Structures are given as structure tokens and as C-alpha cells.
Structure 1
Amino acid sequence: MKIYVNIFIGLLFYLTKVLGQSPAPKSFLWQQIKASAIVNIKNEMMLSKQANTAFIFISPECPLSRNYVLVLNELSQKYPNVNIVGVVPGRSYSDKEIKDFAQSNNVGFEIYSDKKKSLTKLLKASVTPEAVLIDAKGKIRYRGLIDNWPASLGVKRKVITFHYLEDALKDINVENFKYIDTKPVGCLINDL
């Protein structure tokens, strides 16, 4: 009997050690996203669908954010299997200001308000616009620029040669897709 107890304790110790070092389940990121309490500005509903999603951090005052609305509208039409979601971080803008921004710029994708910046911190967004693409399993597949139009802050290329986000959207369901990131260029997220 003593040997069984020792084997059981040894097995329990081994499993605790092995399982304690394993990474969190891939859906864990989605659980954290759902808990972040972002609110849709149109219908006051929180994000609940766990699917391939491109979170685009935007600001109504950021010129680059405004300039990318057309591109993001086109991507949301071209890739209906991926949610394109605008996220306005912080408390600087009222819901009315965000709605006015969406209406005046003909935004064709959902916009969420992240007043507490919980999603912004979770996904480590630092500027607007910045893209973070997450697959349905909760794995980050891409982070950074939408494309290479902004060479640096205030400097734009005449010809866009890399479409980073679109390339990632094309390959979101490819099994051997490698994580890619680029350094985003834009307006710093630094308000409340």
C-alpha cells in the first residue's frame, strides 16, 4: 500500500510540475479579451464572437487613423471571414465623438471604445493606427503597421510596396503561418 501512495504522490508531483510549466491554453487570450469590457459604440454590446479578428487601434484625431478608414473598409469587404474591429483607447473621446468620427468618415467596420484601456494594455498597442491580428484560437498572428505607407511620423511613401495586414489576413488560416511584426508608426496612445 505504501508503494502505491508513493507512486501516486510522485505522479501527482510530476504532473503538477509539468502542467504548471505548460503555456496557457490558446483560448485564454480570448477569455481576457472578452473580460476587457470594450463596448461597441453602435449597440452597446461587448465583443463576444471568438473568431479571426484584426483589432485596429484608432483615434478620431489621428490623421493616419482617418486616412486608413478607406483601406480598412476595403479589407473588411474583401475578407468577410475576419472581423475588422476599430478600437478607440482611453477616455479622451466621448461616445458621441466616436460615433461622429465613424459617421463622417463612413466607417464600414465595428468600432469599440476601450475607456479603461484594458484591451489596449492586453494587446500592448502603443500607437494609432496599430493592427493586432488574432486567430480564432487566440494566437496573435500579426502586429504592427497596416502597410508601409508611413515611412516615419509625418513622412509618407508615394508608393505602398508592402501590405502587411492584408498579407496576414490572406494567410490567417494557413497552418504554418509565421508570426510577423512591424514597428507601428502613428500617434502615441498616452491619454487617460
Structure 2
Amino acid sequence: MLTTHLLLLSGLAGGWAAQVSAPAQSGTGGRITTPWQLNDVSGQRHDLSQNNPGRARVFVFLTTECPIARSYTPTLNQLFTRFDQGMLSAQGDKRVDFFAVISDPSITYTAAAAHCAEFKMAYPVLFDADGLLAGALRPSHIPEAFVISPAGNLVYRGAIDNTWESVGRRRPRADQQYLAEALKATLAGKAPAVARTTPVGCPVERPGAPERIPGDQSR
């Protein structure tokens, strides 16, 4: 379960200058199991226990209030369209399952759904009521992206790209597309050249009791 420390972008650049989206050294390679069924904010149920042959999975942790997470909505919409909807096998099957995840126990299901509608998020946003995915993947900041290979191995974690140099310092344009490059390598059967980066955003912790989605049986 995640609680974000919501950071206003003004006046914080100096205090968080160390949160740079640069390559880090460890934290990937292990097998990840997600034996759960979770609802997204539209009410659709997703069986995360099924590792579909040839299909990679992406989980991007978000929240409703973090300004940096909000700024990535257009980028995530583009990545969803490109990889989830556009990358098909020769047989026409999907090759990527692309999810965002809200695991903050302070955010209600209704608020999460309203936020996703307001920002026109094209991708499914899982409401991680019990912090199951957060506990398995343990993101350190919002937003943070994770790529799991078709074999079930964690092959990338970290920043979506390097748009944000640090909190309060934004580049005019990203020149390192970490998540996209990791997905391209994974779908080609290769290890990503950069397996981990340090995400820039709102730090997270895991106290508190979650709100349940009506009808959710993930426990």
C-alpha cells in the first residue's frame, strides 16, 4: 500500500536534486509472481496470474495528486497505444499488457476513477486495494515503471524517461526513453541495455488500511 508525500514543484528543486533519472545498478532480474485478480477503475477485472505466452507486462505506479505523475499522462497514453495496442504478433495477438496502478490507501475508488476520467487516461488503471502489486514490486517513487518479461522476470524498473532531471527541473524534451527502450528489447528477446533507473517524483511509504473496491475478491 502506498502513501505519497505530495511534492509541490516550486521551491523543492534543491532539496530533491539527488532524485535524478540516471542508470542505477541493481534491483532487476528476479522472477515476479502476481497471483491476483484486480479491478481497474472502470470496473473491468484483470487476471494478473496468467502469464500469456509471448506477452510482456508493464505496471506504472501513479497517484492522483503528484504533479510529476500527472505530467506523464500524454506520454503514457502514447506508450499504451504504441505497445499495448500496436505491437501484435504475426497471429494478431497482443504482445504487451500495459497497466497503471493506484495503490495509495488515501485515495478512494471513486476519486481514482474520477481522476482517470478527468485526465483521459487511455490505459487500464488498476485499483490495488490491498497493495498487492505495491508489495510485490515495491516502488520507491511515483511515477515508477516496471517491465516484466513474458517469462515472468523483472527486466526493468525506474523512470519512464528522463524528462524530469530532478524535482522542479524539467527538460524541454526527453532524450532517453527508458521504458520504451526496455519494452523494445524485451519484445526482441533481449535484456534491456539499461535495467534500472532512479525515478523522479513523489516518494512513497506503505502505512494505512486500503479502501476495498465493491465486489473485489483479491484477498
TM above 0.5: yes
Shift of 1:161: 1.1
The code of the aligned residue for 1:147 comes to: D
Q: Considering Cα pairs closer than 8 Å and 6+ residues apart, tell me whether 1 or 2 has the greater RCO.
A: 2
Structure with greater helix share of residues:
1
SS of aligned partner of 1:84 = strand
What pairs with 1:61-100 in structure 2 (closer than 5 Å)? 61-79=65-83, 80=85, 81-100=95-114
Aligned with 1:57 (options 57, 61, 83): 61
2:35 is matched with which residue?
Answer: 34
Structure 2: distance between partners of 1:151 and 1:98:
27
Aligned with 1:181 (options 196, 199, 204): 196
TM-score (norm 1): 0.78
Q: Percent identity?
A: 25
Over aligned residues, Cα RMSD in angstroms? 1.8
In the alignment of these two chains, the number of paired residues is 163
2:21 is matched with which residue?
Answer: none
Contact 1:144 1:181 in 2 (8 A): yes
The code of the aligned residue for 1:57 comes to: F
> Any unmatched runs of 5+ in structure 1?
1-25
1:61-101 deviation per Cα after TM superposition (whole angstroms, max 9, x unaligned): 11111111111111111113312201001311111111111
Contact 1:129 1:185 in 2 (8 A): yes
Contact 1:134 1:140 in 2 (8 A): yes
Contact 1:53 1:134 in 2 (8 A): yes
SS of aligned partner of 1:57 = strand
Contact 1:53 1:133 in 2 (8 A): yes
Structure 1: distance between partners of 2:160 and 2:115:
20
TM-score (norm 2): 0.69
> Any unmatched runs of 5+ in structure 2?
1-29, 86-94, 209-219
Contact 1:72 1:84 in 2 (8 A): no
